[in-house]
Amino acid sequence: MAYTAPQRQLLSRYFSVVDGPEHADIYLVRNLPQEVAATLNGVYSRSSKSMRDQFLDRLQQGLAAVGKTIEDLGAMEAPRDLLSAVMADKSGQFLKTYAIDHGHNSLREGSVVHLAIERVSQLVTRFIQRERRCSFEESSTRYISFSAETHWRDPDVMAAGFECAEAYEAVLRETFSLYTEITDSVLRHLQQVRPLQPTEKESAWLRTLKAEAFDAARYLLTPAIFTKWGMVADARTTADVIAELLSHPLAEFRTVGECMRTQAQTVLPTLLAHAKPNAYLQHQHVLLQQLAARLCLTETKPVQGAATGHTTLLQHDPDLDSRLLASLLYEHTQKPFAEALSAVKALTDGQRHTLLNETMHARSKHDAWPTGLEGAAPFEFEVLLDFGAYRDIGRHRKGFQQQQVLTTAHGFAVPPLVNDAGLNARYCEVLERTAERQRLIAERFPLAAGYVTPFAFLQRVRIVFDPRQLAYFIELRSGPEGHFSYRKVALDMHAAMQRVSPLFAQFVRAQHGEAFLGRMDSEQTADERKQRRMLAAGDL
């Protein structure tokens, strides 16, 4: 299509290429109101025109309705605002008809919202960040001191009267005080046992020691502590998250859901039409708790004091090695999968090893595992680990994870550095008192008691990873710079893999061994790596 000069000028504002080639005409869509962009995506399947031409058609129709033409836009300073004025109603009607009334949810995925969510508890944060279709970036408990933060106080617990409210306040007061004390004491201890070496940079040395101190001290943080994070999600996912929050029994969750809806609706008014409380979700919160109680699944004998976690392999594919090889080959054969699997099974163990070695030996440190390695039944684990470590594991959303309601019933973990710094007795004393107070609150408010369940307490979670994701998780989380607790989980998972699938396990680069101050080397070279990246990007 030949464009006029005003059309060309307008298109260049919203599309990175105006005159594309005959083949592979690819361009950025930019600066458009979100629902206008979603509409243009939606009309693709109903028209033979390009997105640029669809944009011009719909804009001209909207302008004509208010007595203007495209030529009138040339002198205007804020065309985006005018686009919203002349196209929003039409876009909204289209989206309502197709995305809402007709259930075409893919149209909701064409608009993305970026929210900054601040001063909310770790409990509501963990709930939202279970969502696998979002991207999140959160304040790190490893590199940031939380000593200046405040806590959420559940209004139902506070309104319940002296006993529950006082127990809640006592947990926050005592654990937070010890958090600050341990941060300082462990840092001083590390400075004594691992002084700065003549060849080391002081800034990197101190960053490493502080990170280790924060890693130990964070076991005293509670999920009531405020945090902040960014969230990027499409409209469909955002609406689902908001509906879950608005349907939750806890007051903070509903408040956060309402605030998210208010802000997101400013750019996605039509696409968030269904972001509201859901009666079915509300019913599930009540019903499933009742069913668990009916089956006697809600009571457990509390473990007193310090305890250790463990990893249990629940299920795996007994034909894993053969299935993985058949899956890798499948796209390159014309045979049914059953025949490919049969051919691989007919090989000897040595032949299978040779084939897998041929496919894997050239993989470098930064190469992803082949996609075909998702083509076998997943590994299913049940892990008992401290909640602090699970916050990191929970970021691996390419898989299925379930976390039980936070409890103090399984005992608590003791970071080695707390013991090394001579703080073990005080640490255990505080957490044992905390467990008593948490259980008192949990008798009346089992969900709200999660706010005062420090990160140290062990929680039971179920993790289901396909072989490719499990291999990635083990290689990443077993690194010496990682937290000692999730390193153990990663290495335990690798050990389980070695038992049931020794062939596949040979190619997973688990990093074994002790890792005292394991991130020291990476911190010492961090500045050089950053400078190399900047040079490569042309920023220096």
Mode of pairing for the β-strands spanning 400-403 and 226-234 = unpaired
Q: Alpha-carbon distance 458 to 303, whole Å?
A: 10
What is the arithmetic mean of pLDDT over 249-274? 88
> Is domain 117-311+379-505 given the CATH code 3.40.50.2000 in the classification?
no
| Both structure tokens of 39 | 């509409």
- Token digits for 266? 């400013």
CA dihedral 449, 451, 455, 459 (to 10 degrees): 40
Average pLDDT on 393-398 reads 87
CB 460 within 8 A of CB 480: no
72 neighbors 63 (Cβ within 8 angstroms): yes
- pLDDT tens digit sequence for 112-161: 888 899 999 999 999 999 998 888 888 777 677 787 678 999 999 999 98
Q: Which residues of 98-136 are buried (b: 16+ CB within 10 A; e: fewer)?
A: bbbeeeebebbbbbbbebebeebbbbbbbbbbebeebeb
Q: Give helix 424-444 / helix 162-193 axis angle, nearest 10°.
A: 150
Contact indicator for 110, 41 with CB cutoff of 8 Å: yes
Residue 184 · residue 483 · CB < 8 Å: no
Confidence check: pLDDT of 10 > 90: no
How many other β-carbons are positioned within 10 Å of the β-carbon of residue 266?
Answer: 10
Token pair of 180 as six digits: 């600050």
Q: Is the pLDDT of residue 402 over 70?
A: yes
Higher pLDDT: 32 or 277? It is 277
Q: Cβ(128)–Cβ(241) under 8 Å? A: yes
Q: Where are the strands (E) in 204-320, listed by range?
A: 226-234, 310-315
Residue with tokens 């691992």: 194
The DSSP bridge partners found for residue 460 are 384
Residue 539 has pLDDT above 70, yes or no: no
Looking at the whole model, is its pTM more than 0.95?
A: no
Distance CA 455, CA 457 (A): 6
Q: Per DSSP, which regions of 181-340 are E strands? A: 226-234, 310-315
Strand partners for 465: 379
**Higher-confidence position of 201 and 165:** 165
Q: For residue 380, which of 267, 235, 496 has the smallest C-alpha distance? A: 496
In the chain, pLDDT over 90 holds for what percent of residues?
54
Write phi, then psi, for 388 (nearest 5 degrees). -60, -45
Nearest CA to 457 among 400, 406, 398, 519?
406
Taking 80 as the threshold, does the pLDDT of residue 40 lie above it? no
Q: What single-letter DSSP state applies at residue 400?
A: E
What is the rounded CA–CA span in Å between residue 511 and residue 490?
A: 9
Side-chain half-sphere CA neighbours of 499 within 13 A: 11
* Vertex 108: Cα angle to 105 and 112 (nearest 5): 150
Q: What is the pLDDT of residues 454-507, one digit of tens each?
A: 999 999 999 999 999 999 999 999 988 778 888 999 999 999 999 999 999 999
Residues for the chain: how many in total? 540
Which tokens belong to 376? Answer: 């076998």
Assess whether pLDDT exceeds 70 at residue 307.
yes
Residues contacting residue 274 through CB under 8 Å, at least 6 positions apart:
100, 239, 243
Residue 315: both structure tokens together: 């299920």
What's the angle, vertex CA 292, arms to CA 291 and CA 297, rounded to 5? 150
Task: Give the three-class secondary structure for 460.
Answer: strand
Q: Return the exposure string of 412-424: e unless at least 16 CB atoms fall within 10 Å of the residue's CB, then b.
A: bbbbebbeebebe
User: d(Cα 35, Cα 110) in Å, to the nearest integer?
Assistant: 8
**Backbone dihedral region for residue 66 (phi beyond 0: left; psi -120 to 50: alpha; all else: beta):** alpha
523 SS3 class:
helix
- H helix intervals, 66-147: 79-95, 122-128
Percent of the chain scoring above 70 in pLDDT: 87
Residue 394, pLDDT above cutoff 80: yes
Q: What are the residue boundaries of the structural domains of the chain, listed by start? A: 5-110, 117-311+379-505, 317-374
For the chain, give percent helix, strand, coil, nearest 5.
55, 10, 35
User: pLDDT higher for 60 or 526?
Assistant: 60
The partner residues of 112 in beta bridges, in order of sequence, read 234
Q: Average pLDDT for residues 240-266, to the nearest whole number? A: 94
Q: Where are any strands of DSSP class E within 327-425?
A: 379-386, 400-403
* 105 — pLDDT class (breaks 50, 70, 90): low
Beta-sheet strands, E only, within 205-347 = 226-234, 310-315
The helix (run of H) or strand (run of E) holding residue 40 is: helix 34-43
Mean pLDDT of the chain: 87
